Structure 1
Amino acid sequence: MIWLPTAQKLNEAADILKRGGIGAIPTETVYGLAADALNPIAVARIFEAKNRPVFNPLIVHMPDAGLLPLISTIDLSRIDSLIHRFWPGPLTLVVPKRSVVPGITTGDRESVAVRVPAHPIARHLIAAAGGFLAAPSANPSNYLSPTRADHVEHQLSDRIDFILDGGPCRVGVESTIVSLLGPVPVLLRHGGLSTDALRQFLPDLEERHAPSAHHQPLAPGQLAVHYSPSTPLAFWEGQPVTGSETGFISWSHLPEDPAVRVFRLSEHQDLTEAAARLFSILHDLDRAGLKRIVVERVPETGLGRAIMDRLKRAVAGHVHV
C-alpha cells in the first residue's frame, strides 16, 4: 500500500487521481488525502473515507500560484506580495471561487480555500494529476493528523488507493488559514506559518474564533473538537503524574515516577521542533495501550499558538482522564 515516490509510482498515482481515485500524499505540513478537486464524485470519496461532515470545506492544492485565476476571481494584485513571500508554504487563503469549483469541495460556499504546498513530491503530483487536488489531512475525521506514511497506513489503508511516502513532514501541523473575502484579512486557523510573520504583510489581520455548533465553518480545522487521539487526553495542571499506564508529553517538566512513558516535544524548548514532533508523539502514545495521556502546555507565542490550538481541540474530545 505504501509506495516510494519513484517516477513510475508518481505516474501511477497521477493516473489514479485523474480517473477519480483517492490517495495519500506528503506535504510539508501533514499527509493529505488527495482527489481531483474539480471532480465532485472523487471529492465525495474523500468525505466517505474520512467520515467527514460534508459542510466542512476542503483546501485545494495547486503546483504554483499561476493557476489561481482558473479557480478564483480574486484580484491578484491584492495578494501578490503575500503569495510571493509565503508560497510555496504552509499558508492557505480563502478567496472567492469560480463556478468550476464544485460545491462539495467548498462546503457549498462561494469561496474556496487554496494553497501551494512546499513539498516537491506534492507539487509534481498535483501538476501531473491536472493542477488542482483537494487534500484534507489523511486521517479519520477528528482524529490525529498523520505526519508519516505509516500513520496513514494504520488509519486509512483499506479505504484509499495508494499512499506515497515522502518521509516525515517537516512542519508537522496544518497550514495557517487566512480569509481574504472581506475588506480586512481574517485569521481563521493558526498553523505552520506564525501570525507574527503574517502581520509583516497583513498588519490589519484580525482573528476570528471558532464557529459555534450552529454555524458552518469557513475553513477546515475550525471545529471545537478535532485532532483527538483515542486514548483519553488532558492537560497537566501541576498534579503528580504516575504509573506505567500513563503517557506524558513534556515541554519542560519531567515526572518523578520513572514508570511514566515520557516523550519530550523538544529537548531545547524549540517550538519549531515541537510542532514537527507533536502529532508523531501523539500517534506513538495512542498506539502504546495506555490508559491516559497527559500533556504539558507550551508557550503561546509563534508556532506555540498552532501547537496549543491543536492540543486544546484534542483535549476537548475528552472530558476527563
Structure 2
Amino acid sequence: MNNKVTKIIELNNGHIEEKAIKEAGEVIKNGGLVAFPTETVYGLGANALDEDAVGKIFEAKGRPQDNPLIVHIGDISQIYELVEEVPEKALMLMEKFWPGPLTLLFNKNEKVPLKTTGGLQSVAIRMPKNEIAIKLINESKVPIAAPSANLSGKPSPTNASHVIEDLLGKIDIIIDGGTTGVGVESTVLDISTDIPTILRPGGVTLENLLTVFPKVEYDPALESKDKDLVPKSPGQKYKHYSPKANMKIVYGTIEDMSKKINELKDYYTLEGMKVGILATSQTKEKYDLDNTLVLGDRENLESIASNLFDMLRKFDKLEVDIILSEGFEEKGIGKAIMNRMKKAAGGDIIYLD
C-alpha cells in the first residue's frame, strides 16, 4: 500500500543534524519505519521489541514471516538486555570486530518477540559501523530490527535512490546518508557450536575470523536448495538479490570466461534477447556490447562487493533479458560476492575446466 508520505532526510557522516536524528528516533519509538544507512547496505528499521512495528517491516518489504531479522544496537552494553548469556567466544569477537559487519547469534531472552526472530529462540545481533546508524539507535533508545531496505528478493540497496525506488510511500522516513561502503550484508556467525559456523558470508571474512579461532566452518545450508529449510539466518532460504532479468554466471580463467560469455552473448542475441554483461576493469575490452557494465577491479574484490547490487539494479533500468556475469574466486570477500551472485542467478552457474 503506497499511501504514506515518506520524508527524505539528507545527512552526512561527520555532519549530522541532531534535529533530524531526533525526528527519526521519535518515529522508531512510536512504532514507525525508518530506512537508514549502515556500512554494509541500507537497513529498514523498526523497534525490535515492538511486535506491531516489526510486523510493518515484513509488510513493507513483502518479506516471508519466517525470515529472521537482525537486531542492531548502538552500544555493546545493550546486548545484555536482549540475550540469556554472552559467551566468551562472543566477547572475543565483539572486541575485535564491533562496530562492524559481523552479526552474532545468541539465545534471546523474553524481551525479544518471536516476530523479530522469525519464530526462533535465537536472535541475530550486530553493532553497525556507521555514525548515522549509531546515533539513530541511541536516539530511539531501543534496539532496531533492520533487514535490508528493499522489496524482498530485489538487489539490496547501497544508496538512498535504491530505497526510494522500492519503498517510497510505504515507510515514514528515508535517511539519505550517501553510498554505503562494504556493499554486501554482514557476515552471520553461529557461535553455539564447538566450531564457529558462518551462516552467511559477508564483510568479515573467514580469513578474518581465523585470526580469533583456530577453525571456522561454512554452514552446508549455504549451498542448499531445500525448500523446507528453516532459515537460522537472513539470506539462507529464499531467492535474494535478484535483478528482473535472468542471470548466468561463468567461472573459469579470464580467457575461458570471456570466450564463453562472448559465445553466449552471440547465441542469446540471435535468439532475439537483449543481453547485458557484468565485466571487470581487466576484461571490459573483451566484450563488444553496449550493455557491458564494469563491476570493479579483479585485484580489488572490495570494489566488486561495493558495486554489485548497484550494477544489478542498473540492468533493471536497461531492461535486459539476460545478464552474463564473470565469476570470482571464493576467497576473502569473494565468498560473499559469489554467495550473493549465485542467489541472484538462482544457482545458474557454468564452471569451465
Q: Which TM-score tier does this pair reach, normalised by the shorter chain?
A: over 0.9
Q: Is the 8 A contact 2:261 2:324 kept in 1?
A: no
1:1-23 deviations in Å (ceiling 9; x for gaps): 32113322211111111000012
- Alignment partners' CA distance in 2, 1:133 and 1:20: 11
1:13 to 2:24 alignment? yes
1:209-237 deviations in whole A, cap 9, x for unaligned? 22521121001011252111112211136
CA distance in 2, matches of 1:128, 1:268: 40
Is it true that 1:308 corresponds to 2:308 in the alignment? no
Give the structure 2 partner of residue 164 of structure 1.
175
- 1:230 counterpart residue number: 244
Displacement, 1:255?
6.1
Residues 206 and 318 (structure 1), Cα distance of their counterparts in 2 relative to 1, 3 Å cut: closer
What is the CA distance between 1:81 and its match in structure 2? 2.0
The residue aligned with 2:114 is 103
Counting only pairs closer than 5 Å after superposition, residues 98-137 of structure 1 correspond to structure 2 as 98-137=109-148
Question: What runs of 5+ residues in structure 1 fail to find an aligned partner?
Answer: none
Aligned identity (percent) is 38
Alpha-carbon distance between aligned partners in 2 of 1:309 and 1:111, rounded to the nearest angstrom = 23
List alignment gaps of at least 5 residues for structure 2.
Answer: 1-6, 12-16, 251-256
CA deviation string 1:169-223 (max 9, x = no partner): 1000000000122333211011111110011112232221225211210010112
Q: State the TM-score, normalizing by the size of structure 2.
A: 0.86
Instruction: State the SS of the aligned residue for 1:104.
Output: coil
How many residues align? The count is 320
More displaced stretch, 126-135 vs 262-271: 262-271
TM-score (norm 1): 0.94
Deviates more, 1:34-43 or 1:124-133: 124-133
1:276 pairs, out of 306, 310, 315, with: 306
**1:79 partner SS:** helix
Q: CA RMSD in A?
A: 1.9
Which structure has the greater CA radius of gyration? Answer: 2
Q: Distance in 2 between matches of 1:185 and 1:232?
A: 35
CA contact (8 A) 1:58 1:136 kept: yes
Contact kept? 2:40, 2:203, Cα under 8 Å: yes
CA separation in 2, counterparts of 1:181 and 1:38? 23
Candidates 137, 151, 155, aligned match of 1:140? 151
**Paired position in structure 2 for 1:3:** 9
Separation in structure 1 between the aligned mates of residue 240 and residue 65 of structure 2, nearest angstrom: 15
Cα 1:109–1:268 shift into 2, 3 Å: closer
The worse-fitting range, judged by mean Cα deviation, of 148-157 and 240-249 is 240-249
1:31 to 31, 34, 42: 42
Query: For the residues of structure 1 that align with 2:182 and 2:307, how far apart are their CA atoms?
Result: 9
